[in-house]
Structure 1
Protein backbone atom coordinates (compact mmCIF):
# COMPACT_ATOMS: atom_id res chain seq x y z
CA UNK A 1 0.00 0.00 0.00
CA UNK A 2 2.89 2.37 0.74
CA UNK A 3 4.12 2.04 -2.83
CA UNK A 4 0.81 3.27 -4.28
CA UNK A 5 -0.08 6.04 -1.83
CA UNK A 6 2.62 8.41 -0.67
CA UNK A 7 2.18 10.57 2.44
CA UNK A 8 2.56 13.71 0.32
CA UNK A 9 -0.83 13.17 -1.32
CA UNK A 10 -2.89 13.00 1.89
CA UNK A 11 -3.50 16.80 1.93
CA UNK A 12 -4.74 16.55 -1.66
CA UNK A 13 -7.13 13.77 -0.64
CA UNK A 14 -8.37 15.98 2.20
CA UNK A 15 -8.90 19.00 -0.06
CA UNK A 16 -10.66 16.98 -2.74
CA UNK A 17 -12.80 15.26 -0.10
CA UNK A 18 -13.81 18.64 1.35
CA UNK A 19 -14.73 19.97 -2.09
CA UNK A 20 -16.77 16.87 -2.91
CA UNK A 21 -18.55 17.23 0.44
CA UNK A 22 -19.39 20.89 -0.17
CA UNK A 23 -20.63 20.15 -3.70
CA UNK A 24 -22.75 17.26 -2.43
CA UNK A 25 -24.25 19.44 0.30
CA UNK A 26 -25.17 22.15 -2.21
CA UNK A 27 -26.65 19.61 -4.61
CA UNK A 28 -28.81 18.08 -1.89
CA UNK A 29 -29.86 21.56 -0.73
CA UNK A 30 -30.90 22.53 -4.26
CA UNK A 31 -32.82 19.31 -4.90
CA UNK A 32 -34.68 19.36 -1.60
CA UNK A 33 -35.37 23.06 -0.91
CA UNK A 34 -35.09 25.05 -4.15
CA UNK A 35 -38.57 26.22 -5.15
CA UNK A 36 -37.71 26.04 -8.87
CA UNK A 37 -36.61 22.39 -8.79
CA UNK A 38 -39.45 19.87 -8.95
CA UNK A 39 -38.50 16.21 -8.72
CA UNK A 40 -41.87 14.50 -8.36
CA UNK A 41 -44.34 14.23 -11.21
CA UNK A 42 -47.11 15.94 -9.21
CA UNK A 43 -44.98 19.01 -8.56
CA UNK A 44 -43.87 19.21 -12.19
CA UNK A 45 -47.50 19.19 -13.35
CA UNK A 46 -48.19 22.32 -11.28
CA UNK A 47 -46.54 24.55 -13.90
CA UNK A 48 -45.08 27.95 -13.06
CA UNK A 49 -45.81 29.00 -9.49
CA UNK A 50 -45.78 32.61 -8.31
CA UNK A 51 -44.60 31.79 -4.81
CA UNK A 52 -42.29 34.66 -3.92
CA UNK A 53 -42.27 33.89 -0.18
CA UNK A 54 -40.76 30.45 -0.73
CA UNK A 55 -38.11 31.89 -3.06
CA UNK A 56 -37.21 34.58 -0.53
CA UNK A 57 -36.93 31.94 2.19
CA UNK A 58 -34.58 29.89 -0.01
CA UNK A 59 -32.42 32.89 -0.95
CA UNK A 60 -32.14 34.28 2.58
CA UNK A 61 -30.95 31.14 4.35
CA UNK A 62 -29.61 30.95 7.91
CA UNK A 63 -25.94 31.50 7.05
CA UNK A 64 -26.74 34.60 4.99
CA UNK A 65 -28.86 36.00 7.83
CA UNK A 66 -26.01 35.35 10.29
CA UNK A 67 -23.42 37.13 8.12
CA UNK A 68 -25.66 40.08 7.18
CA UNK A 69 -24.53 43.32 8.81
CA UNK A 70 -21.08 42.05 9.75
CA UNK A 71 -17.83 43.35 8.38
CA UNK A 72 -16.09 40.97 5.93
CA UNK A 73 -13.18 40.07 8.20
CA UNK A 74 -11.65 36.73 9.00
CA UNK A 75 -10.08 37.71 12.34
CA UNK A 76 -11.88 40.86 13.55
CA UNK A 77 -10.25 40.88 17.01
CA UNK A 78 -6.78 40.58 15.53
CA UNK A 79 -7.53 43.37 13.05
CA UNK A 80 -8.72 45.64 15.88
CA UNK A 81 -5.63 44.83 17.94
CA UNK A 82 -3.18 45.75 15.19
CA UNK A 83 -5.21 48.77 14.04
CA UNK A 84 -5.24 50.27 17.55
CA UNK A 85 -1.57 49.54 18.15
CA UNK A 86 -0.34 52.11 15.62
Structure 2
Protein backbone atom coordinates (compact mmCIF):
# COMPACT_ATOMS: atom_id res chain seq x y z
CA UNK A 1 0.00 0.00 0.00
CA UNK A 2 2.70 2.50 0.97
CA UNK A 3 4.90 1.77 -2.02
CA UNK A 4 2.02 2.28 -4.46
CA UNK A 5 1.31 5.70 -2.91
CA UNK A 6 4.97 6.65 -3.15
CA UNK A 7 5.12 5.44 -6.76
CA UNK A 8 1.99 7.42 -7.60
CA UNK A 9 3.11 10.78 -6.14
CA UNK A 10 6.88 10.76 -6.61
CA UNK A 11 6.97 10.79 -10.38
CA UNK A 12 9.04 13.37 -12.26
CA UNK A 13 5.82 14.84 -13.71
CA UNK A 14 4.70 15.87 -10.22
CA UNK A 15 7.87 17.81 -9.27
CA UNK A 16 6.67 21.13 -10.80
CA UNK A 17 3.45 20.82 -8.78
CA UNK A 18 5.44 20.31 -5.59
CA UNK A 19 7.63 23.31 -6.47
CA UNK A 20 4.62 25.57 -7.15
CA UNK A 21 2.90 24.55 -3.91
CA UNK A 22 6.16 24.99 -2.01
CA UNK A 23 6.63 28.52 -3.37
CA UNK A 24 3.02 29.40 -2.51
CA UNK A 25 3.40 28.08 1.04
CA UNK A 26 6.67 29.99 1.37
CA UNK A 27 5.05 33.26 0.27
CA UNK A 28 2.16 32.73 2.69
CA UNK A 29 4.57 31.97 5.52
CA UNK A 30 6.66 35.04 4.73
CA UNK A 31 3.56 37.27 4.76
CA UNK A 32 2.40 35.72 8.04
CA UNK A 33 5.76 36.40 9.70
CA UNK A 34 5.81 39.94 8.26
CA UNK A 35 2.35 40.67 9.67
CA UNK A 36 3.11 39.22 13.09
CA UNK A 37 6.48 40.95 13.44
CA UNK A 38 5.98 44.34 11.81
CA UNK A 39 2.26 45.15 11.54
CA UNK A 40 1.49 48.01 13.94
CA UNK A 41 -2.04 46.71 14.56
CA UNK A 42 -0.93 43.23 15.65
CA UNK A 43 0.19 42.90 19.26
CA UNK A 44 1.45 39.51 20.35
CA UNK A 45 2.85 40.19 23.80
CA UNK A 46 0.64 40.94 26.76
CA UNK A 47 2.47 44.18 27.52
CA UNK A 48 1.76 45.56 24.03
CA UNK A 49 -1.88 44.46 24.09
CA UNK A 50 -2.60 46.55 27.19
CA UNK A 51 -1.62 49.71 25.30
CA UNK A 52 -4.99 49.83 23.54
CA UNK A 53 -5.51 51.67 20.27
CA UNK A 54 -2.51 53.81 19.35
CA UNK A 55 -2.60 56.76 16.99
CA UNK A 56 0.82 56.04 15.52
CA UNK A 57 0.46 57.07 11.89
CA UNK A 58 4.19 57.09 11.11
CA UNK A 59 4.58 53.41 11.97
CA UNK A 60 1.52 52.53 9.89
CA UNK A 61 2.86 54.51 6.95
CA UNK A 62 6.21 52.70 7.19
CA UNK A 63 4.42 49.34 7.19
CA UNK A 64 2.16 50.19 4.24
CA UNK A 65 4.85 51.81 2.09
CA UNK A 66 7.40 49.00 2.03
CA UNK A 67 10.36 48.76 -0.37
CA UNK A 68 8.62 46.64 -3.00
CA UNK A 69 5.70 49.05 -3.26
CA UNK A 70 8.10 52.00 -3.59
CA UNK A 71 10.04 50.14 -6.29
CA UNK A 72 7.04 49.35 -8.51
CA UNK A 73 5.18 52.62 -7.98
CA UNK A 74 6.31 54.32 -11.23
CA UNK A 75 6.74 51.18 -13.33
CA UNK A 76 4.42 50.14 -16.14
CA UNK A 77 1.93 47.50 -14.97
CA UNK A 78 3.07 45.01 -17.60
CA UNK A 79 5.22 41.92 -17.40
CA UNK A 80 6.93 42.35 -20.79
CA UNK A 81 6.30 45.91 -22.01
CA UNK A 82 8.63 45.70 -25.04
CA UNK A 83 6.87 42.59 -26.41
CA UNK A 84 3.44 44.09 -25.71
CA UNK A 85 4.42 47.29 -27.53
CA UNK A 86 5.83 45.32 -30.45
CA UNK A 87 2.58 43.42 -31.00
CA UNK A 88 0.15 46.25 -30.21
CA UNK A 89 1.75 49.35 -31.77
CA UNK A 90 0.85 49.59 -35.50
CA UNK A 91 3.62 52.16 -36.16
CA UNK A 92 6.38 49.59 -35.60
CA UNK A 93 5.86 47.81 -38.94
Bin the TM-score by the shorter chain.
Answer: 0.7 to 0.9
2:92: which partner in 1?
A: 85
TM-score (norm 1): 0.88
Q: Which of the pair is proportionally richer in helix?
A: 2
Matched, 1:3 2:16: no
Q: How many residues align?
A: 86
Asked whether 1:67 is paired with 2:72, we answer: yes
Distance 2:42 2:17 in 1: 33
**TM-score normalised to structure 2 length:** 0.82
RMSD: 1.7
Structure 1: runs of 5 or more not aligned? none
Q: Which has the larger radius of gyration?
A: 2
Q: Which runs of 5+ in 2 are unaligned?
A: none
Does residue 26 (structure 1) correspond to residue 31 (structure 2)? The answer is: yes
Bigger relative CO (Cα 8 Å, ≥ 6 apart): 1
